[in-house]
Structure formats: C-alpha cells, structure tokens
A and B are shown apart, each in its own frame.
Chain A
Amino acid sequence: MLLIEADGKSLFAEHGIPVPVGVVATDAGVLPPGAGPWMVKAQVPVGGRGKAGGIARCASAAEVTAATGRMLGSRLKGHQVDACLIEQAATGQERYLSVMVDAAGYGFRVIWSAAGGVEIEQSGTAQGRLCPPDPDAVAAALAEMIADEPDAWRSTVADIGHRLARMLVERELALAEINPLFVSDSGCVAGDAKVVVDLNAVERQPLLADMIRVRPSIYADANRKLEEGFDYVELDPRGEIGLVTTGAGLSMMLIDELTARGAKPLNFCDIRTGQMRGSPARLMRVLEWITARGSLKAVLVNIFAGITDLGEFAGLLATAIESTPGLQVPVVARLVGRGAPEARAILAERQPSMLVTEDLEEALARIESIVRGRPA
C-alpha cells in the first residue's frame, strides 16, 4: 500500500533522511511554514500527481491559500483530496534514488539516476543493481553507482542510501523512493517520498499501523482490511453493481467482465467465505457499505464453493438480506459447488424474488439487463 507523501516523509525523518520543512493542511486556512517559495501538494496515494494538477509552486502565502483551496475537496486520479502538504520548496540538482524488494531475485534492488524528475521511468538513465537483502550490500552497490558525483554531496547521498535501505528492512517495506532527491553544496533533501508498505507486516509494525489508523478517509481500504480481516475496495462511489464475492482473482475478473458489458461496478470484494464461521456479520457489513450508495442498481453475489458449504452460506445470505432494510434493488446470486441444490432450496423459500443460478454467464446477462432497464 502506497503511503501519502506526508507520511512517507515523516517516516524518512524518523530514519534521519532530510526532508523539507512542511505542514499538512486539511483546510485552506493553514499558514505556510517559514519563508517561501512553497510547494502545495495534494496528498493522494497515487503517482503522477504533478501532471494531473496536484502540485503547485507558490511564491506568496496568498497563492498557497488559493492552491490549497483549489485542491482540497477535488478529485485527483480517482482519489478525493482530503489533505495537502505545504512545504518550503527545495533547491539543487535533481537525482533519483530508490531501494525496493526485488521479487524475482529474493533481494533488494537499488536504483540511482543522475537525472531525477518526473520522466525518470521513460528517460532510460536509471541504473539498477540487485543486492542481497542487506543494507550494507545496498550501500556498497550504491557507492559504485554514485562514484562520479561531486565530493560536495557524494558522502551525504551514500548515507541517505544506507538509511533508506535500513528503513526498508526495519519497517518491512516493499519500496522506498526519493524522486527527486535535491543535491547541492549546502546539503541534500528528499523532494518527494514514495513509500510502499507491506500490509501483511503491519501487525508487527506499530508505527505504520498508527499512520494508517489516523487517516481513515485516505487509507479507507487498508483500514477496512485491518479492521475487518477481508478485502473491500470501493472502485466508484457512483457505481451501479454491488459485488458480494469471494476470491481476489475472480472478483477482479467479474469487475472486468461487468465493465465490458457496460455495467459500472461499485466495489471489489474478497469476503473469504471460509472465515465467516457461521456468522452473517461480514455479509451484513458489505451490504451496509453497498447500500450506502444511492446509485446502486443491483447486487451480484458470486461464490465458487470449493470448501464452503453453500447451504450454510445461503442461510447466512438470506439472514443478512433480511437484516438490511436499505437493500431495495434486485439480487442475483451465482452459486456453484458444494451444496448448491440446498442453497437454491433455501433461497427459493426465504428470498423468492432472487435469481439463483449456477451459470455465471446467465448471472452476468441478468445484471446487464437490469442496468439497461429492460426485462431479462
């Protein structure tokens, strides 16, 4: 999970990596720190903010207020802007430095480029080295890569690289990237921070867990996962199809197939039926989130039961629906696998209006006809 820049930078500061003086603003009245010029940066967990209009350079406090006011509340690359980082603009030449987990190499990859900036991925100037998962090995590799840098800042860059690698290990991160890293005779400073957290390790990383918990709106999906123990991602608050599904891959595929049919899925969901243990609580939570959106037109339940007993699941589904009075749209249930006949019998009795099928194509066709407003 990508941290917003402000959190990435506070993590940098924790590990002794220099960052500009800044403040996080959630309303337009916040005063910028120190002397200008300043940068105002929308805090959304996604890359490419600059090109999308989420970063502004401001010469005066009035410009800062205007930029903050313009960004807050807007949507940027699919994310609501709930906070802006206002910081003193850094100066110097731009470099690129990152350390990340290399999945195929069972190690770390350190990447350095003497040309930092937004076009780094296209520029082809970045050089990467695969190292064993050890900060000292990263530091040794980086030392060779920065050999041509001037004495004025070479040792500072080396130190920053070592700290970045130690941070990657200690916080169990997937990626720690500085782009640009400003270098000058007077020092080095991280102009940006891209930090990807491993949500699977957060349980033993209290600092990261706290960072996520204090921002329930920005890290909504991660908070849901940590609190509820399953995955639910809202894709489009104006979506029409609520998904109650198990399995990440199949849920993703259904989203793709629904979209191709002209339907707008509201959410991704991996409810993990195997962990429900006889309780309708998870189903009720998902129905509650789905029905909170007024654009909802239908709910698609899709369970491929390898291990799950569909008879039991159908009972829980009926109970969850009965306890969700806000659910006023048709429900289509595609249930296949163990106990499918029992499930069909239970739902025929308790939810007679529900279409229950074993055939996914039939379920998708019914959803399509509901969205298009014509009878199936």
Chain B
Amino acid sequence: MIHTLSRETPVIVQGITGRMGRTHAGLMRAYGTNIVGGTSTRTDIKEAAGVPVFADCAEAVAATGAIASVFMAPPLETEAAVREALAAGIKLVVTVAEGVPLHDAIAIGRAVNQAGAFWVGASTPGLAIPGETKLGFLPDVCLRPGPLAIMTKSGTLSYEVGYRLAREGLGQSIWVGVGGDPVKGLRFADLLPMFFEDPRTEAIVLVGEVGGTEEEECAEAYARLGRRKPLHALIAGREAKEGVSMGHAGALVHGESGTLDSKKRRLEAAGARVYASLEDLVRGCVGG
C-alpha cells in the first residue's frame, strides 16, 4: 500500500501531545499530509497541531477513518503503541524512535504480519510520496517530485543523496526510510516489487550501510524479479570498525559478514551499480 499513499490518505499521530509529536504533526500538515487526529494519554488536551486528540487509536480510527499512523514517542513504548494501532485496524504503522530493543522489534514484526499490516521503522525518518504526503520528518528541503524511488537505512545520508540529486533536477517518486535497526518492518527486498509496479518510478536508489544482510537480500530479489528498473546503490561504512556498532544498531560488522565488499559483490553480480562516493552516485544517476 506504500506506493498508493496520497494526500487523501488519513493519518493519525500517536503521541501527538509530546514535544516531537506536536512539532512534526504540524510540519507534516504543512507539507500536505492529511493528518486527521492524534492520540495521547493526556486526557486534558483536546486538540494539538490543529487536529483533535483522542484517548487511543480505537477512538481515533472510529472518529476519523484513519488507516495509517505515525508513532512519535520513546522506543520502549513502541511495541505497545504498535499493538494498539493494529488492534484499531490501522494498516500502516510508521515508528520513528531510535533504540527499540531487538526482541520488542521481533514481537512487533510478528504482530504486524499477523494483522496483515505494514510497518516502516524503527529508527527511521519515515517515508514520503513527494508532492503528496509524508509520514515522519523527512526534511522538505530534500523532497521534490521526480522519477527516483529512494530506499534507505540512514536518514541523514539519504537527505544528502536526495538533496544533491534534487539539485541536479532529479526528484523522487517515493522515499522510504527502512531504518538502521537489524530487525525492522519493510526491508529493501520488500520494497523492490512496489517500486517496479509504481508507474512514476523510473530508477531506484538504494542507500545502504554495512551490517546485516538486507543489501544481499535485495540483490537476490533484484535478479529474481527481473531487473525491471535500474538500481543505483551507495553503501556507507567501508571503514567501519569490526565488532562496533556505528551509531545504528544494525551497522555492525562481524568477520566477513555484513561487510561492504560482500554487499557490493552481490549487488553488482545482480546487475546493480554500486558507487564509492556520493559524488559518483549523483553522476551515475544523472547519467542514467
């Protein structure tokens, strides 16, 4: 359902009365996202960021018909928030908090699958269909409608990529931050078929990082699904220190596993182009 999101899609913000929830609900509305309400445990607050505040998701969904939710509160509360959203019938949950424990993430993933819903996160700036809607806090300065689908583990590195490409006139059809955690919702390989189906998307940009096996899984899916659109990849962490998480919990190299070489080799073998620097990626995308 990610690529069919639009400015009509009704979205709620869970935790809307917090500092972050209030700020970003306002910024999302300003971008054009159809924020129809929010939830909070603060029963004394009836309105925040210009939309009604409800006691929980069930109440919010009943009143607004929301089908997507953005959760803006601390990591240790994420699992309970997702369960609440799923129970209310929400079909897309975006959780931005960094630091969701691994075993909580497993439980979230299983609950989301069981509910037949989608989860984007954790540890993500969110997703956007530029010109239509954004769920999360992708900076407006990077967003510009165009032909590239961006999928990324990192927030900041993707801002840099999106900003530079937009400066060259190449905007985005869809932008999904899958997040920097090892256990997460949608993964790179899950997004490929959506990007292949999406008529606005002409090429795909993968912004990866060392650690985990997502880039390798994506390479396998890319070859299996028939390389229907060009895939450009940039992977950070060539110089990462073995055995040490580089900020993101998932960016962890052990021995040969998760190294840049392994990812680059597999992606190139599958027919993707892998670049060594930001500048090379931009030139590669501009050159087609």
Q: A residues bordering B, Cβ < 8 Å?
A: 1-2, 45-48, 77-78, 101, 103-104, 106-107, 121, 133, 169, 172, 174, 196, 198-201, 203-204, 221, 231, 233, 235, 246-253, 255-257, 259-260, 265, 268, 270, 304-307, 336-338, 360-361
Contact = CB atoms under 8 A, between A and B. Distances in A.
Interface stretch (B10-18, B94-102, B262-270): B94-102
A250 B154 contact: yes
Contacts of B217: 104
B236 A252 contact: yes
Contacts of B241: 78, 233, 235, 268
Kindly name the residue among B100, B156, B242, B276 whose own CB sees the greatest number of chain A CB atoms within 10 A: B156
B34 interface: no
A304 B103 contact: no
Interface string B139-150: 101100000000
A45 to B, nearest CB: 5
Nearest to A251: B247
Contacts of A121: 255-257
B153 A249 contact: yes
Nearest to B250: A103
Contact of A268 (B234, B246, B254): B246
B240 A104 contact: no
B215 interface: no
Nearest to B207: A249
B239 A198 contact: no
B245 interface: yes
A259 B137 contact: no
Given A46-B242, A248-B246, A268-B240, 8 more contacts: A101-B103, A106-B183, A200-B101, A247-B156, A252-B251, A256-B276, A306-B141, A306-B159
Interface stretch (B41-49, B50-58, B106-114, B223-231): B106-114
Contacts of A200: 75, 99-102, 249
User: Sorted from nearest, which 7 A-B pairs have the closest CB atoms?
Assistant: A249-B154, A247-B156, A248-B247, A306-B139, A249-B157, A250-B156, A201-B101
A249 B209 contact: yes
B106 A1 contact: no
Contact of B246 (A77, A252, A306): A252
23 contacts: A103-B213, A104-B213, A231-B245, A233-B241, A246-B156, A247-B155, A247-B247, A248-B156, A248-B246, A248-B248, A249-B209, A250-B154, A251-B156, A252-B210, A252-B247, A252-B251, A255-B239, A255-B240, A304-B160, A306-B155, A307-B23, A338-B139, A360-B160
Contact of A252 (B158, B237, B255, B279): B237
Nearest to B19: A277
A354 B156 CA distance: 23
Contacts, number: 180
B244 A221 contact: yes
Interface of B: 23, 27, 75-76, 99-104, 106-107, 109-110, 113, 125, 137-139, 141-142, 152-160, 163, 180, 182-184, 187, 207, 209-210, 212-214, 217, 234, 236-252, 254-257, 276-279
B interface, by DSSP: helix, strand, loop or mixed? loop
Given A247-B157, A253-B278, A106 B109 contact: yes
A7 B103 CA distance: 21
B247 A103 contact: no
Contacts of B237: 252, 256
Contacts of B248: 248-249
A304 B234 CA distance: 18
Contacts of B234: 253
B213 to A, nearest CB: 7
Contacts of B160: 250, 253, 304, 360
A34 B217 CA distance: 49
Kindly name the residue among B142, B236, B240 whose own CB sees the greatest number of chain A CB atoms within 10 A: B236
Given A172-B101, A268-B246, A337-B139, A106 B239 contact: no
A91 B251 CA distance: 36
B141 A338 contact: yes
Kindly name the residue among A196, A198, A250, A252 whose own CB sees the greatest number of chain B CB atoms within 10 A: A252
Nearest to B27: A307
Nearest to B158: A249
B75 to A, nearest CB: 7
Given A247-B156, A249-B207, A307-B137, A268 B247 contact: yes
A253 B157 contact: yes
Given A2-B243, A46-B243, A103 B100 contact: no
A276 to B, nearest CB: 13
A47 B243 contact: yes
Nearest to B23: A307
B163 A304 contact: yes
Contacts of A204: 76, 101
A47 B255 CA distance: 7
Nearest to A205: B101
A252 B76 CA distance: 26
Contact of A198 (B154, B238, B249): B249
B233 to A, nearest CB: 13
B236 A256 contact: yes
Contact of A249 (B76, B106, B163, B180): B180
Contacts of A174: 102, 182
A70 B209 CA distance: 37
A2 B101 CA distance: 16
A249 B236 CA distance: 6
Nearest to B187: A104
Contacts of A270: 247
A62 B16 CA distance: 66
